[in-house]
Amino acid sequence: MHGWIDSVQFWQWQGPMDCLNGACLYLSRRGTALITSENVANLIPGKGVGLVAGRTIREGEVVVLSEPPTVVVRLAAHVQLENKYIANYLDMARVNHDCRPNIVYRYDNMHLTAFAARDITAGEEFSVSYIEELKPRAERLSRLQKLENRIETVVMPETGEQLVALYAQERLHAFKGSAYRRAALNFAMFGLEEEARDYARIAVEALMRELGPESNSTISTKLLASSPRDHWAWRWRLLR
């Protein structure tokens, strides 16, 4: 039995496994094979891997309909079992954050459904907000700082230098270590070893004064200065 379908949700497929003359093979988690044009996953400048629209998508159109492959009970120490769970939705894993997102999503029991919040043109990156946009600014910044793409991580390689320059311009000399540490982390995330090492060395000197030698930030930055490739941040933006 066969039939024609209008579109394919690429979040449900792995690949391409192999390509020939513009046609690529993808495999689903259910073992289904698909031969089609290249995937909508792309390297987004300054963000690593992201998803882009393969065609024009109209406002209100469903772009993701997903079930979590893993659900675990959320427990706190010494707290009785509660009706709270954590679910992992792999289909949304490649969608990056934007403060002006073009996708909105909701949960219905175990299902996640994402809709286009506005018309999305072919080639445009899909984005969601990792925070509640209408919360006060302080709460939004606090939330972003707890996420993997936290606000301290600048999204373009060259902005590490700009951040340090801004701290100097504002005469925030007492926070020099923090500025150089963030710049060093950012360079490392884009695989710029020499820049990461140089900025980390300056950061360590300042952090020794600001936070002391036993601070986690100081210890982590020492590792970054001595061996950027062994640090957790190495090429993080390019590999996610």
User: Residue 226's pLDDT band (boundaries 50, 70, 90)?
Assistant: very high
User: Residue 212's pLDDT band (boundaries 50, 70, 90)?
Assistant: confident
Q: In the chain, pLDDT over 70 holds for what percent of residues?
A: 55
pLDDT of amino acid 198? 95
pLDDT at 166 over 80: yes
Residues 140 and 99 placed together within one structural domain of the fold: yes
Q: What is the mean pLDDT of residues 67-71?
A: 52
CATH number at residue 141: 2.170.270.10
Residues 73 and 111 placed together within one structural domain of the fold: yes
Give the total number of structural domains in the chain. Answer: 3
User: Residue 148's pLDDT band (boundaries 50, 70, 90)?
Assistant: very low
> Range of 24's domain?
1-39
Residue whose C-alpha is closest to residue 45's, from 180, 195, 191, 157: 157
Task: Give the angle 41-47-53 at the CA atoms, nearest 5°.
Answer: 35
Of the residues 129, 148, 167, the one at which a domain ends: 148
pLDDT at 71 over 60: no
Q: What is the mean pLDDT of residues 85-110?
A: 70
User: Contact at 8 Å (CB) between 190 and 157?
Assistant: yes
Residue whose C-alpha is closest to residue 155's, from 51, 228, 225, 50: 50
Residues 79 and 5 placed together within one structural domain of the fold: no
